[in-house]
């Protein structure tokens, strides 16, 4: 078979000492970047771009791709250990991952995250090989109306990620929507709630809010407890995921992989949205959804797999059509152009050696990453035994540096601290932070797609239902909403019955 | 009495020494690393351009100090301009200059004003083209315009940022041809191109380099270019003007500094950019990225930008982006 032959050639190139070294360096940097909140893979790749000018395109792109998915492996580490997401795609992981950590199962969470990421990465790369071109062409049919429905689906997960009180989740979500309004309106470029401050014109940065609410908020709350919380006891047996954990997660991993790959392949939708949707789906199909938010392993397995296969997914439009699927792939597109490789439908034919070497490197990279990450799991889990009086100042420092590194603006640091205080109060009043964060990300996107969809349809509102893909997505969203509502009602009824008896 | 004389003598010696030594100080410029401000985020067109130029300047030995690119995004380039303004008089701070800052200066949204900018050199033109899908019923601009005349506001067209080069460019086509399109903003050139490929738009405006892969694959067809003359590497694509639509938009890229930038620094950089334009690495970059070399130093650059701002004024007001 042609594909097999090409793939073997690709491996031939990649399995040489220099290329393996390049891939390892990329994976390592990527993991670090993922772990540290603030700097994301796209910015890192852009900064390292000039270093690659002296390289040939193949090793350069191999390194960039390795950084890209390496970051997704690393991002879950801080989410799980200290409830500070390393980047957007790891926010939902923090919900159940951190709870598992508090229960002494940090090793299990980290291990499942790594294993899920690995499986998703491998399957995703296979997906890239076999379905890239048809998937890319299908994804072109997604116009604004379809994005709107997809994002609406993502927003429904707000209700799911909130935990016990749906009212509080919705409250948090609305606050997030309000925060998302700050900035420039998509239609006229008019400023909204900017108060003349140039720093707010691009809106309130999601990363900064996440670091504030989760990182600083966490530290403030613990400081109030005067560190009465003892470091979590970590038993040696719990440093790894158990067989039971693995078996429980297998479907979550599979579902997450598929969701992540498909969502990642859509230009403009990436790992973050994929992880939200995966979480929502897992909670929706679970037999006992009330476990979510309290340390359900599927809540880690699904989203972590989704965010990794989303990276392979976002390579689909890049390699098949020359369209960037996300921020990091946009940088890679720029790099491809600088190297004279013309990204576009012809890339597979004109530069087939390069493309297959890149794909082979993705397999190799995933293997390198799982080898790098799995043995580190017990080490990281053990690090939780560090007394909080050392841990929390470190968190503060990392968050401050991270938020400053985004735009080299002190303003971002102030915003983060303000949200730290807000996060503290939210924790005190038991208002979940995840809905706010999700709404902050998805709100502006929702508004933008709504405006575009209606513009393209020249004001015709039925466009969302008359377009088949959009209608399907809306249908799925409605089904998801009804299913979870029924489950919740049944659960509440059961609780009331119990009390009465 | 004696003190006054001795003080005066020392002062004189000091002044003479300063006058003699000053050229040596200037000759020693640059002595520390530079800051190159970019108004856009890492990875975008402006950022990649700035980083590549910095890299070439360093590796070709034209500038013997490190050039650090810093991204100051936000405020539709106002943030970057404000940051530049805060570095008044600093000979080690420059800024990348393209449509974004032009728009910000035109709309008056930054502390820095047009008169305060020291224009160093314009280096390239990044032409903007009008694209349709290869399956489009319109085979040339004439057909497109004729259809649009019959059906106002029907044809959907894509542009990147509100008030950006494609937005104003499309508007100028509308003005020149007397038609109305349904202009839809996508936030980025990539998103707009994707929508075009998906068949959701009648046409889109965009840079060549973003689309070259698609052009070569025959998936999209350029119907015209908004530059003054035909593009060397696309000799068969006529300009808008040639086709009877008098719409021009020049997207240029260059480098500027802020008022107070010392003369010796200005001279150094103008020389540096002139040398840069002759290097092999630069010309390779031009070829690979499908832009056009256009070197204009100092005042010639300033004139170009002044004209751009003036031309865009009416457009911005009609589009409701400027009062």
* Interchain CB distance below 8 Å, A345 and B214: yes
Top residue of A55, A198, A347, A349 to mutate, by most chain B CBs within 10 Å, is A198
- HEC letters along A156-195: HHHHHHCCCCHHHHHHHHHHHHHHHHCEECCCCCCEECCC
* Interchain CB distance below 8 Å, B71 and A408: yes
Q: How much is the pLDDT for A123? A: 93
Alpha carbon of A405: minimum distance to chain B alpha carbons (Å):
10
pLDDT in tens, B116-170: 999 999 999 888 889 899 888 888 888 999 999 998 888 999 888 777 788 889 9
Candidate from B79, B199, B213 with C-beta closest to A342 = B213
Identify all chain A residues contacting B213, using CB atoms and an 8 Å cutoff: 322, 342-347
* Interchain CB distance below 8 Å, B197 and A345: no
Return phi, psi of residue B310, to 5°.
-60, -45
Q: How much is the pLDDT for B272? A: 92
Candidate from B79, B110, B212 with C-beta closest to A342 = B212
Alpha carbon of B284: minimum distance to chain A alpha carbons (Å):
9
* Interchain CB distance below 8 Å, B184 and A43: no
Tell me the CATH number for domain B128-225: 3.40.190.10
* Interchain CB distance below 8 Å, A49 and B156: no
Identify all chain A residues contacting B72, using CB atoms and an 8 Å cutoff: 407-409
In the CATH scheme, what is the homologous superfamily, with its name and number, of domain B27-126+251-318? Bordetella uptake gene, domain 1 (3.40.190.150)
pLDDT in tens, B179-231: 999 988 887 777 788 888 888 899 999 887 767 777 778 888 999 999 888 88
Q: How much is the pLDDT for B36? A: 93
* Interchain CB distance below 8 Å, B43 and A42: yes
Contacts of A53 (CB under 8 A, 6+ apart): A338, B52, B55, B59
Element (H, E) at A38: none
Contacts of A456 (CB under 8 A, 6+ apart): A143, A144, A145, A463, B156, B182, B184, B200, B201
Candidate from A43, A142, A448 with C-beta closest to B187 = A448
Residue B1, pLDDT > 60, answer: no
Average of per-residue pLDDT across B24-40: 79
* Interchain CB distance below 8 Å, B289 and A337: yes
Residue B177, pLDDT > 80, answer: yes
Candidate from B42, B78, B191 with C-beta closest to A43 = B42
Give residue B197's Cα distance to chain centre. Answer: 26
CA distances from B183 to A354, B154, B167 (A): 38, 10, 8
What is the DSSP secondary-structure string of B111-170?
Answer: SS-GGGEEEEEEEEE--EEEEEETT-S--SHHHHHHHHHHSTTTSEEEESSTTSHHHHHH
Candidate from B198, B213, B216 with C-beta closest to A140 = B198
Query: Does this chain's domain B27-126+251-318 share its CATH topology with B128-225?
Result: yes
Alpha carbon of B175: minimum distance to chain A alpha carbons (Å):
19
CA distances from B54 to B34, B79, B276 (A): 10, 21, 10
Highest average pLDDT, of A203-207, B1-5, B16-20, B90-94, comes from: B90-94
Residue, of A382 and B233, whose pLDDT is higher? B233
Residue A228, pLDDT > 60, answer: no
Residue B95, pLDDT > 90, answer: yes
Residue B149: how many CB atoms within 10 A of its CB? 12
Average of per-residue pLDDT across A320-338: 76
Candidate from B72, B162, B212 with C-beta closest to A189 = B162
Candidate from B74, B162, B200 with C-beta closest to A188 = B162
pLDDT in tens, A145-170: 888 988 888 887 777 666 667 788 88
pLDDT in tens, A50-107: 677 777 888 888 888 888 888 888 888 888 888 888 777 888 888 888 888 888 888 8
What is the DSSP secondary-structure string of A366-413?
Answer: HHHHHHHHHHHHHHHHHGGGS-HHHHHHHHHHHHHHHHHHHHT-HHHH
Identify all chain B residues contacting A448, using CB atoms and an 8 Å cutoff: 187
pLDDT in tens, A299-320: 899 999 998 999 888 888 888 8
A-B C-beta contacts closer than 8 Å: 151
pLDDT in tens, B256-276: 999 999 999 999 999 999 999
Candidate from B45, B217, B285 with C-beta closest to A344 = B217
From the list B101, B128, B110, the residue with the least C-alpha distance to B254 is B101
Give me Rg for the CA atoms of chain A.
22
Can you tell me whether residue A230 is helix, strand or coil?
A: coil
| DSSP symbol at A53 | G
Residue of B nearest to A459 (CA): B182
How far is it, in rounded angstroms, from Cα B104 to Cα B84?
13
* Interchain CB distance below 8 Å, A324 and B190: yes
Q: How much is the pLDDT for A405? A: 77
CA torsion, points B19, B24, B28, B32, in degrees to nearest 10?
-30
User: ipTM of this predicted complex?
Assistant: 0.76
Candidate from A141, A323, A409 with C-beta closest to B190 = A323
- pTM, whole model, 2 decimals? 0.79
Candidate from A202, A267, A409 with C-beta closest to B190 = A267
* Interchain CB distance below 8 Å, A198 and B110: yes
Top residue of B189, B191, B194 to mutate, by most chain A CBs within 10 Å, is B194
CA distances from B106 to A177, A385, A453, B46, B317 (A): 32, 57, 30, 19, 11
Q: How much is the pLDDT for B26? A: 58
- HEC letters along A410-427: HHHHHHHHHHHHHHHHHH
- Is B248 within 8 Å of B74 (Cβ atoms)? no
Q: How much is the pLDDT for A258? A: 93
Q: How much is the pLDDT for A166? A: 78
Residue appearing with tokens 């690495």: B281
* Interchain CB distance below 8 Å, A344 and B214: yes
Residue A468, pLDDT > 80, answer: yes
* Interchain CB distance below 8 Å, B162 and A322: no
Residue of B nearest to A41 (CA): B42
Average of per-residue pLDDT across A414-422: 92
Residue B27, pLDDT > 70, answer: no
- Is A308 within 8 Å of A73 (Cβ atoms)? yes
Residue, of B75 and B139, whose pLDDT is higher? B139
* Interchain CB distance below 8 Å, B321 and A322: no
Alpha carbon of A345: minimum distance to chain B alpha carbons (Å):
6
Where residue A233 falls among pLDDT bands split at 50, 70, 90?
low
* Interchain CB distance below 8 Å, A198 and B79: yes
* Interchain CB distance below 8 Å, A144 and B200: yes
Identify all chain A residues contacting B191, using CB atoms and an 8 Å cutoff: 267-268
Least confident of A223-237, A281-295, B140-154, B289-303: A223-237
Residue of B nearest to A454 (CA): B184
How far is it, in rounded angstroms, from Cα B283 to Cα B295?
12
Least confident of A172-186, A383-397, A421-435, A439-453: A383-397
Where residue B109 falls among pLDDT bands split at 50, 70, 90?
confident
Where residue B291 falls among pLDDT bands split at 50, 70, 90?
confident
Identify all chain B residues contacting A346, using CB atoms and an 8 Å cutoff: 213, 216-217
Residue B47, pLDDT > 70, answer: yes
- Is A275 within 8 Å of A226 (Cβ atoms)? no
Domain range list for chain B: 27-126+251-318, 128-225
Instruction: Tell me what the pLDDT averaged over chain A comes to.
Output: 82
* Interchain CB distance below 8 Å, A344 and B216: yes
Q: How much is the pLDDT for B22? A: 58
Residue, of B92 and A288, whose pLDDT is higher? B92
* Omega within 30 of 0 (cis) for the link into B30: yes
Q: How much is the pLDDT for A1? A: 56
pLDDT in tens, A331-375: 787 777 767 777 777 777 778 888 888 888 888 888 888 888 888
């Amino acid at each position: 078979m042609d594909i097999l032959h090409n793939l073997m050639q690709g491996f031939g190139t990649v399995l040489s000492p220099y290329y393996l070294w390049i891939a390892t360096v990329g994976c390592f940097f990527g993991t670090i970047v993922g772990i540290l909140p603030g700097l994301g893979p796209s910015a890192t790749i852009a900064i390292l771009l000039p270093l690659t000018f002296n390289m040939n395109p193949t090793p350069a792109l191999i390194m960039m791709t390795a950084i890209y998915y390496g970051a997704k492996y690393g991002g879950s580490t801080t989410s799980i250990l200290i409830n500070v997401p390393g980047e957007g795609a790891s926010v939902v992981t923090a919900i159940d991952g951190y709870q598992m950590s508090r229960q002494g199962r940090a090793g299990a969470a980290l291990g499942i995250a790594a294993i899920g990421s690995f499986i998703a990465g491998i399957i995703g790369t296979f997906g890239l090989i076999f379905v890239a071109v048809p998937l890319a062409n299908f994804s072109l049919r997604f116009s604004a109306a379809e994005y709107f429905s997809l994002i609406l689906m993502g927003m429904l997960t707000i209700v799911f990620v909130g935990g016990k009180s749906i009212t509080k989740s919705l409250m948090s979500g609305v606050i997030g929507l309000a925060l998302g309004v700050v900035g420039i309106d998509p239609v006229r470029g008019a400023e909204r709630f900017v108060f003349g401050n140039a720093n707010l014109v691009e809106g309130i940065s999601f990363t900064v809010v996440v670091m504030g609410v989760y990182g600083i908020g966490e530290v403030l709350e613990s400081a109030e407890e005067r560190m009465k919380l003892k470091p979590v006891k970590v038993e040696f047996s719990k440093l790894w995921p158990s067989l039971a954990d693995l078996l429980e997660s297998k479907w979550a991993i599979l579902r997450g992989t598929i969701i992540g790959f498909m969502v990642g392949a859509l230009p403009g939708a990436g790992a973050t949205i994929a992880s939200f949707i995966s979480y929502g789906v897992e909670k929706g199909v679970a037999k006992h959804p009330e476990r979510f938010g309290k340390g359900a392993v599927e809540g880690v397995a699904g989203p972590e797999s989704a965010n990794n296969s989303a990276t392979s997914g976002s390579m689909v439009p890049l390699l098949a059509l020359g369209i960037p699927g996300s921020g990091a792939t946009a940088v890679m597109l720029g790099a491809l152009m600088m190297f004279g490789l013309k990204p576009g439908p012809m890339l597979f034919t004109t530069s087939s050696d390069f493309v297959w070497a890149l794909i082979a490197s993705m397999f190799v990279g995933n293997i390198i990453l799982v080898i790098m990450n799995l043995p580190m799991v017990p080490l990281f889990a053990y690090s939780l035994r560090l007394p909080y009086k050392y841990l929390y100042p470190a968190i503060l420092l990392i968050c401050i540096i991270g938020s400053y590194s985004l735009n080299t603006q002190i303003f971002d640091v102030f915003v983060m601290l303000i949200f730290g205080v807000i996060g503290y109060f939210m924790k005190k009043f038991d208002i979940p932070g995840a809905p706010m964060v999700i709404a902050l990300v998805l709100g502006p996107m929702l508004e933008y797609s709504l405006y575009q969809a209606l513009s393209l349809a020249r004001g015709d509102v039925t466009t969302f239902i008359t377009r088949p893909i959009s209608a399907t997505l809306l249908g799925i969203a409605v089904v998801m909403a009804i299913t979870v509502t029924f489950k919740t009602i049944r659960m509440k009824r059961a609780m009331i019955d119990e009390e009465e008896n | 009495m004696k003190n006054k004389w001795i003080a005066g003598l020392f002062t004189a010696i000091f002044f003479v020494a300063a006058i003699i030594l000053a050229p040596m100080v200037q000759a020693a410029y640059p002595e520390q690393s530079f800051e190159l401000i970019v108004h856009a985020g890492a990875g975008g067109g402006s950022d990649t351009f700035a980083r590549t130029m910095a890299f070439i300047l360093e590796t070709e030995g034209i500038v013997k100090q490190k050039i650090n690119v810093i991204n100051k995004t936000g405020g539709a380039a106002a943030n970057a301009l404000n940051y530049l303004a805060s570095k008044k008089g600093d000979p080690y701070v420059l800024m990348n200059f393209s449509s974004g800052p032009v728009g910000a200066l035109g709309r008056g949204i930054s502390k820095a004003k047009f008169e305060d900018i020291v224009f160093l050199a314009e280096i390239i033109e990044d032409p903007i083209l009008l694209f349709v899908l290869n399956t489009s019923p319109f085979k040339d601009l004439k057909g497109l315009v004729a259809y649009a005349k019959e059906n106002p506001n029907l044809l959907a067209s894509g542009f990147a940022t509100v008030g950006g080069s494609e937005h104003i460019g499309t508007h100028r086509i509308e003005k020149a041809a007397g038609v109305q399109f349904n202009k839809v903003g996508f936030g980025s050139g990539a998103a707009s191109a994707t929508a075009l490929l998906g068949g959701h738009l009648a046409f889109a405006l965009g840079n060549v380099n973003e689309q070259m892969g698609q052009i070569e694959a025959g998936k999209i067809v350029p119907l015209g270019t908004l530059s003054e003359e035909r593009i060397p590497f696309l000799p068969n694509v006529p300009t808008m003007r040639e086709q009877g639509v008098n719409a021009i938009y020049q997207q240029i890229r260059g480098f500027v500094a802020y008022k107070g930038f010392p003369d010796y620094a200005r001279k150094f950089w103008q020389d540096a950019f002139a040398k840069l334009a002759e290097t092999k690495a630069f010309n390779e970059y031009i070829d690979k990225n499908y832009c056009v070399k256009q070197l204009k130093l100092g005042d010639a650059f300033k004139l170009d930008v002044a004209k751009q701002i003036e031309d865009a004024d009416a457009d911005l007001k009609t589009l409701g982006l400027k009062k």
